[in-house]
Every structure is written in structure tokens, then in C-alpha cells.
Amino acid sequence: MNHFKEKLAHFSELVMFKHSVFSLPFIFIAMLVASYNESGSGWFGWKLLLLGTLAAVTARNFAMGVNRYLDRDVDILNPRTKGRPSVDGRVSNVQMIGFIMINALMFIVVAYFVNTLAFQLSLPILLVLGAYTLFKRFSSMAHLILGVSLGLAPIAGVVAVNGEITLWSVYLAIGVMFWVAGFDLLYSLQDMAFDKVHNLHSIPSKFGAKKTMWIAKVFHFLAIIFWAYFVFTAGLGYWAQLAVLFSAIMLSYEHYIVNKDFTKIDKAFFTVNGYLGFVFLILIIMEVI
């Protein structure tokens, strides 16, 4: 039993399960708004709550598993990542491959029980989720691919409830894409020197810290713009507008932290962005009830 708990802890560390806070709120935001616009009630039912959660968790586990498996050769050289379970032997290559395959299969099965469109999109979504690690090897646009990966969450949410992709969900997804790409740029500043030495493609290694921070600001400004479009197009009111305003304040604070002290990047990345997603979700809940 202790061995099982220990192995579970290793897999949790492998995929950084606590970082699910970045994707989970936005799939539920999309589901709430889709249900509200369709029936006048934000509640979409226990079945979709369970299936939506399983879809988000298994998709993220798959993406992180692929990332960790393909990045072993790089992670072992980086002082920041050489202690990961995928590198130090706590999770074997065979176990990682099994983990990836199980989560991919679970995601497809969950999508099948959601609806036809969700099932049809399940494999293309997995391909996009797995592309991020490969993009890092040849393109500095990998940050946007990561953003697209998490931006798929609200698309999946509206598909689950409505069985279609709405314009407002596209705006919400694009906002998530720029939000994630922006904070990934800030996070990548930690590996700027390492990426240069090992020919890994990233915006910080290509353009330097100062330009990267400006690009991150532009990305986050665009995130706010598209979230405002989402609120307007979805016909939402005061609480949703407040969610966008709060997001703008939190992202401004994030940039203030990083500008002031590069050693606070972890605080900006985990704390600020984690709160942003959950407060956005809470305010949308207030909107639909």
C-alpha cells in the first residue's frame, strides 16, 4: 500500500497535477455559459460535471506525460529539471508510456460518452496536446502551441454542453491561448541561458529578457481583449465584466512582480495565475445564478 502511494505521488509530481488549476476553471466556465445561454440555467448536470472533469484531467495527464517522456534528454542536463521523476528513475520509461496510453484511451472513451462531436474531436485534440514538446525543438512559437493546448479546454466545454462550437467560446479560447502563452514566456525566462546553450527554441533565448517581457505584455493585453469579446458576444453582464477587470489587474500585478525581481517568477506563475482562473470561474458562477 505504501509503495502504491509513493508511486502515485511520483506520477503526481511527474505531471505536476497541482497545475490543473490553469485548465480546469475555463472548461467549467464554458460549460456554465453554454448551459445558461441554452436553458437559462448555468447547471449542466452531474453527468457532464464528472465527464468534463475526467476529460480535462486525462487530457492534461496525456500532454504532460508526452512532454516529460520526450524531454528526458534535455531535462537531465538542466539543473532546474534534473530531479524530475522522469529523469531520476522514480518513473521508468515503460511506466511513462503506459501512463500516456492509458490517459489517451480514457480521454477518447470519455469523449465518446459526452457526444458525437466530442468523440470526433478527441483524436485531433490529443495530437495538438502532444505537439508542444516537438515544437520546442524547431520553433520559438512553442509558447503559442502550449496556449492553444489549454485554449482547447473552453472549446471542449461548449462542445460537451451544446454539441457545437460557438463564437463566444472561440473568443474565450483565444483569450486563454494568449494568457497561457504570456505566462509561459515569463516562466521560460528561467531557462533562457540553458535554451541558448542547447539550441532549444524559445522566445527568451531568441529575443532576450527585455523583449520577451514586452511580448508577454502584448499577449496578456490581447487575452483581456478577447475575454472582453467573449463577455460581450455571450451576452453576459456585470459579474462577467468584473471577471475580465479582475484578470487585467492580476496580470498587471504578475508583470509587476517579474519586473521587480526575476527570482519571483514562480510566485507570479503559480500563485497569480492560479487565483486568476478560479476567481474568473467564481464570478461567472455569480453571473449565471
Please tell me the predicted confidence (pLDDT) of residue 22.
67
- What is the pTM (predicted TM-score) of this model? 0.91
Percent residues over pLDDT 90 in the chain? 52
Q: Output 108 or 198, whichever has higher pLDDT.
A: 108
Domains of the chain plus CATH, in order, are 22-288 (1.10.357.140)
Instruction: Look at residues 222, 285, 281 and name the one whose alpha carbon lies nearest to residue 27.
Output: 281
Burial pattern 219-228, b for ≥16 Cβ within 10 A else e, equals bbebbbbbbb
Please tell me the predicted confidence (pLDDT) of residue 3.
64
Percent residues over pLDDT 70 in the chain? 91
**Rounded CA separation 210/164 (Å):** 41
Please tell me the predicted confidence (pLDDT) of residue 260.
72
Q: Is the pLDDT reported for residue 10 higher than 90?
A: no
Q: Is the pLDDT reported for residue 55 higher than 90?
A: yes
| Burial zone of 270 (CB within 10 Å; 0-12 exposed, 13-18 middle, 19+ buried) | middle
Please tell me the predicted confidence (pLDDT) of residue 8.
74
Q: What is the mean pLDDT of residues 211-232?
A: 96
Please tell me the predicted confidence (pLDDT) of residue 135.
79
Please tell me the predicted confidence (pLDDT) of residue 1.
65
Q: What is the mean pLDDT of residues 9-22?
A: 67
pLDDT band of 267, cuts 50, 70, 90: low
Please state, rounded to an integer, the average pLDDT across all residues of the chain.
88
pLDDT band of 71, cuts 50, 70, 90: confident
Please tell me the predicted confidence (pLDDT) of residue 254.
87
Please tell me the predicted confidence (pLDDT) of residue 268.
62
Phi, psi of 16, deg, nearest 5: 50, 60
| Burial zone of 33 (CB within 10 Å; 0-12 exposed, 13-18 middle, 19+ buried) | buried
Please tell me the predicted confidence (pLDDT) of residue 9.
73
Q: Look-up: residue for cell 473568443?
A: 171
pLDDT band of 20, cuts 50, 70, 90: low
Q: Is the pLDDT reported for residue 263 higher than 70?
A: no
Minimum mean pLDDT range among 18-32, 63-77, 147-161: 18-32
Q: What is the mean pLDDT of residues 4-11?
A: 72
Please tell me the predicted confidence (pLDDT) of residue 139.
75
Q: Is the pLDDT reported for residue 269 higher than 70?
A: no
Q: What is the mean pLDDT of residues 264-277?
A: 74
Q: What is the mean pLDDT of residues 132-142?
A: 78
Please tell me the predicted confidence (pLDDT) of residue 222.
98
Q: Is the pLDDT reported for residue 217 higher than 90?
A: yes
pLDDT band of 34, cuts 50, 70, 90: very high
